Every structure is written in C-alpha cells, then in structure tokens.
Structure 1
Amino acid sequence: MITEELRERVTGWFAGRLPAGWQPADVTIDREEITVVLTIDDVEATAAVEGSEAALAEARAGRASAFREETREQRMEIAREAQHRYERTVSWGVRVGEHRELWTHVAAPVMTRLRQPQRLVLDTLVDAGVARSRADALAWCVRLVGQHEGDWLAELREAMTTVADVRAKGPSA
C-alpha cells in the first residue's frame, strides 16, 4: 500500500525538482509507477479555432505534442533521478485545457483467478466485439468501475491511509 508519507515525499520532490513553468503537476503513485501529469497553458482563442470544437481540440493536441518533443530530454533526466530515488518507473502526461494525454505509461500485467460466471462475462464482451481479449475485457470492466464508483473508491483509499497512519504510530515489532 502507498502511504500518505510516501505520497507527500514524492509529490514534494517533484514540486521542488520540476521547472516553475511545469507547475502544477498532478502526481499519481502505485507500486510500479509514478505518473506525472503537467498542466500547461491552454491555446489562445484565435480565428482559426474560434467557434470550432474540433479545431480547438486539435490545437490542444498540437500544443501537447510540441511540449512533449521540446521537453523530452529534460523529462528523461528528471525521470532517471526519480526512478533511482523511488524505485518506480516514471511516466509523463500533459493537460492542455480539456485535453489530457499520457505518454509511455506502464501497462502492468495482473494475475487473477476467475470462476466460470466471471469468465462468461468477459467472454460475452469479447464475443460482442467490445473487447479483443479477456484481458481487454477485464481492463474495460475496471475502467467502468473506476468511472462509476470514483467517489466510493476515493473514500476507501482515504480510510486505508488513515489505517496505515495509525499502524505506523503503534508499537514496532
């Protein structure tokens, strides 16, 4: 489990290490990966994008692409330092207005055992063309739960953090 202390340390390190123009950064941590999503300036309304949602979306995607290329070397250097310090892969992303994209993030394999009723659900999704494989179907299900149960999951994570903090204050073995 990721403790609140680790979360604060990693977030603090990135806040101090990232250039001022890359702030604020949204830092997410799990056992394998640290994902840093940078917020950069939105595109300005110009005659080319004014009134057209499609043009605005493409302008934002273009700004994200340019930022990715322009900052590649600096991001790689920061990632190497963080990976050495925290023993996790560092992945990057960017938010430009309503546009958000992640670059080269980890797709970690997860082993699970499912009984026939659960496998049948996955097979139905595959047979219907919703997913290409059972693995894709399972990932689709997890994304759906995350979207619809986000508040509940956030409350659960907060409760787990509180339990971890209490345990840390207890007697050591």
Structure 2
Amino acid sequence: MLTKEQRDKLRGWFAGRLPEDVYERLIDVTVDREEITVIGFIPSPHLAEDASPAEREAAVQGRIQEFRARTRDARVGVAREAEQRFGKKVSWGVECDGTRALFTHVAAPVMTRLRQPERQVLDTLVASGVARSRSDALGWCVRLVRQHADDWLNELRDSLEHVQRVRAQGPDAGPVPTEETT
C-alpha cells in the first residue's frame, strides 16, 4: 500500500509525462501490487440536444474507441517507461459523458482457502447461473462488497496510511546509531 505522498508522486509523474493531447484531464491513478491504472477524462461527442439515449450511448462508445485507437502509440510509450520505472504493468481507461471504460487490464489470480459455508455460497451462485465458476463467483462477491462498502473501505485505507506514517517515524526509520554517535 502506498502512502498519500507516494500516490501523489505517481499521479504527478503521469500528469507530467502524458502528452497534453491524450486526456483533457487526469481523473484517477490507482495502484496495487500488480498494476497501475490511469484514467482520464475525454470530451463528450457533440450531439443534438434531442439525441436519443441510444444515439448518445453509441456516440460515447464511438468516441471511446476513437480515443483508444488514436492514442495507442503514445500510451504504449508512456506505459513502457512507467513499467520500467515502477515495476508494474500499466492499464488505461477513460471517462466520457459519465461512462467509464477500462481498456485491457490485469486480471491477477488470487489464491484463497474457504471453509464449506463459504464454498456453498460460491456453489449457489454457480448453480443459479449468476456465475460460471467458483472463481467467477468469488469475483462477483468482491465486486458486490466493493460496491456496498466504499465508505468503510476508504476509512480502512486512511487508517492504513496513518499506520504507515507512524511506522516511518519510529525508531527504525532513521540511520542505525553507531558507537561513535552514541
């Protein structure tokens, strides 16, 4: 988990490194153990005020596809540099007219051990057709928790950040004293 300062530096690096014509503005840079995800805002397509919802949705999808193709070379160049610098894969996404779209991104395997009651939950989701497999069912559960627990998770992340700051100020944070300095 990165500190706020480390996240700010990472976001600043991308804000400074991305060519100005890629995003109108940077929205979010998130990072975990495997991946950095960069999401920026692109302008909405110009449509008549009386455009139908279907026309608006199709225009937004078209704008996102156009952006992805037009900026591919620039994004790949920045991603290669970032992957070398930060040691993580870089994924991209956009937000356009309230629609958020992620391009190819990492789907990292996660190993877990579950007792029978938890396995039964997964098996019920599979049997009912909600999920194709236990793995898919577990992903579904995680997305559901994320959707309903954002406030709690944000508070937990803030607490972890505080612990990291306190840890950095502890006795092991500075240089080890030698006999000459004691």
Q: Where on the TM-score scale, by shorter chain, does this alignment land: which range?
A: over 0.9
- The TM-score normalised by the length of structure 2 is 0.90
Deviation string 1:63-115 (CA, Å, 9 cap, x unpaired) is 00000000000000000010001000000011111111111100000000000
Residue matched to 2:36? 34
Residue matched to 2:139? 139
Say which structure is richer in helix: 1
Written as runs of structure 1 = structure 2, the 5 A alignment for 1:11-30 is: 11-21=11-21, 22=23, 23-30=25-32
Could you tell me which amino acid in structure 1 is paired with residue 125 of structure 2?
Answer: L
Residue matched to 2:115? 115
Could you tell me which amino acid in structure 2 is paired with residue 28 of structure 1?
Answer: T
The structural deviation recorded for 1:45 is 2.4
- The TM-score normalised by the length of structure 1 is 0.94
Residue matched to 2:70? 70
Are 1:85 and 2:70 matched, yes or no?
Answer: no
Moved more, 8-17 or 61-70: 8-17
- Structure 1 outlier segments of 4+, above 6 Å: none
Residue matched to 2:130? 130
Structure 1: gaps of 5 or more residues: none
Distance 1:166 1:42 in 2: 44
8 A Cα contact 1:42 1:96, kept in partner = yes
Distance 2:77 2:27 in 1: 17
SS in 2 for 1:164: helix
Moved more, 127-136 or 95-104: 95-104
Distance 2:77 2:30 in 1: 19
Residue matched to 1:97? 97
8 A Cα contact 1:2 1:31, kept in partner = no
Could you tell me which amino acid in structure 2 is paired with residue 71 of structure 1?
Answer: T
Could you tell me which amino acid in structure 1 is paired with residue 42 of structure 2?
Answer: I
Q: How many residues align?
A: 171
Please report the RMSD computed on the Cα atoms of aligned residues, expressed in angstroms: 1.3
Distance 1:141 1:44 in 2: 38
Residue matched to 1:3? 3
8 A Cα contact 1:93 1:101, kept in partner = yes
Residue matched to 2:177? none
Distance 1:143 1:76 in 2: 28
Query: Quick one: percent identity of the two aligned structures?
Result: 56
Residue matched to 1:150? 150
8 A Cα contact 1:15 1:25, kept in partner = no
| Structure label with greater radius of gyration | 2
8 A Cα contact 2:19 2:74, kept in partner = no
